[in-house]
Structure 1
Amino acid sequence: MDIAIFGVLADFVALLHIAYAAVIVIGLLMILFGYFLKWKWVRNPWFRSIHLIMIAIVVYEAWAGITCPLTVWERELRTLAQQPFDGESLIGRSVHFLLFFDAPWWVFTTCYSLCGALVLTTLILVPPTASRKTLQTDQSTN
């Protein structure tokens, strides 16, 4: 098997990692903007549940000292591709620039925990709508 495929797979995992982080951060921003702009979709219970679970996983991994599986998989694929962890491709280098930086573990744990706390706070400030019927009632009152 050509080792170049492992580099491509590592880039794919790196992109998946950045997408995961983006969903958490952009989702939080959209919920906050949605509150002020009265966007109904930010109260979708599926979206809110998935968003909460995503950050809960990150916070749990940080507190438990678990390295993110996406980081582990990318590192293993880069090893198989005989590439440095930050990648040889533009994608690999760009993703690493956005996701990874040198700081003590507690900095990451604090940041993830604060983000998780913000997501929990939005559940109180901008609670998900329980059902379609409730959503229709909300729309008729606006």
Structure 2
Amino acid sequence: MPDSRLAEAIFAVHLAIIAFNVAGLVVIPVGAWLGWSIVRMAWLRLLHLGMLLIVTVQALAGRACVLTIWQNDLTGLRQPAQPMIMRWIERLVYWNLPPWGFAVMYSGVFLYVLALTVFVPFWTSKRK
């Protein structure tokens, strides 16, 4: 029997990860320009880079995100009636692209974030 509450929790986690990844694409360069020290925190930047690496490798392998797979398994691959805001959010999260489209898109985003490590280097130790 599908477990919709667990599926909703997985979707919420998925949404938070997407928000973190997308925010980093903007916050890192803008924060560097504005002199924000948070954009130079190594653990935060490595987390961002690592999460995008996982997404990119999955896309290059032609696989859906593991969170999407879990959510689909829990809901039985059917879409229950949802509030309008939830439908809008799902349209933002789940795009109808071929696998190669995701691979190209995620590879480009990963290369952009990799370039940010060069142009906006992060600290690996405490600064004086």
Q: Which residue of 1 aligns with 2:124?
A: 130
TM-score, reference length from structure 2:
0.89
Q: Which residue of 1 aligns with 2:13?
A: 16
Q: Which residue of 2 aligns with 1:99?
A: 93
1:37-72: CA deviation from partner (whole Å, max 9, x where unpaired): 011110000001111100000000011122211011
Runs of 4+ in 1 over 3 A off after TM superposition: none
Q: CA RMSD in A?
A: 1.8
AA partner of residue 122 (structure 2): P
- What SS does the corresponding residue of 2:67 show, helix, strand or coil? helix
AA partner of residue 37 (structure 2): K
| Alignment of 1:88 onto 2:85 | no
TM superposition shift of 1:107: 1.5
1:104-124: CA deviation from partner (whole Å, max 9, x where unpaired): 222111111111011000000
**Does the aligned pair in 2 maintain the 1:14–1:92 contact within 8 Å?**
no
TM-score, reference length from structure 1:
0.81
AA partner of residue 42 (structure 2): P
1:47 equivalent among 34, 40, 44:
44
Identity of matched residues, %? 33
Q: Which residue of 1 aligns with 2:114?
A: 120
The 1-side partners of 2:54 and 2:18 are apart by 12
**Does the aligned pair in 2 maintain the 1:43–1:126 contact within 8 Å?**
yes
The 1-side partners of 2:108 and 2:98 are apart by 16
The 2-side partners of 1:88 and 1:70 are apart by 21
Runs of 5+ in structure 1 lacking a partner? 137-142
